[in-house]
Amino acid sequence: MPDNSKFGCLTFQCNICGAACEYPMLDLGRETPSCRNCGSTVRMRSIVHLLSMELFGQSLVLPDFPTRLDIRGMGLSDWNRYADPLAQRLSYTNTFYHQEPRLDITRIDPALEGSLDFLISTDVFEHIVPPISVAFANVRRLLKPDGVFIFSVPYTLDADTWSIFPNCVNTRSSNRTASEY
């Protein structure tokens, strides 16, 4: 077992729940819950940080987001611990592929085109059946000209990847190049 005392702890304020946090540096990971209050991960907090910077020009804690119902956004199956507060502060809807409110990013409603100030997609695009370019084109169609797309997909330094939803699109060792998607 590595000696964490040598590397110290990261002290931070969680930008999702506002809690003061301390977490061992060696244990910190993309998907490891590191806020002991809300269970947020580095990835989830980075999504909120990026959104805050793009919308407000500063990194705000989610409880300090201004109420701005003129800012319209959507999430693709976002984590409820940041989706619910976003819906209280902004005109934000968290959508799903498999339940209401539904949004299939490969087949969007033309009435939604050009209506969003932001769209959040975390760990969704790896499940889209190729050609994935259709989904990216639809993201662009949904956004206003100055709209923001906040996007993440899983990554690993290993040759193989894994999926928590392996029955959607198998991402294991596809050996495809980016252009084949």
Rounded mean pLDDT, 107-114:
96
**Segment 84-99 mean pLDDT:** 95
The residue among 179 and 10 whose pLDDT is bigger is 10
pLDDT for the residue 161: 57
173 or 51: which leads in pLDDT:
51
User: How many other β-carbons are positioned within 10 Å of the β-carbon of residue 126?
Assistant: 17
Which of 86 and 29 is assigned the larger pLDDT?
86
Q: What percent of the chain has pLDDT over 70?
A: 82
What is the structure's pLDDT at 177? 38
Higher per-residue confidence, 157 vs 5 = 157
Please report the pLDDT score of residue 85 as a whole number: 97
Of the pLDDT bands very low, low, confident and very high (cuts 50, 70, 90), residue 28 is: confident
Mean pLDDT of 83-97: 96
| All domains of the chain in start order, with CATH | 4-152 (3.40.50)
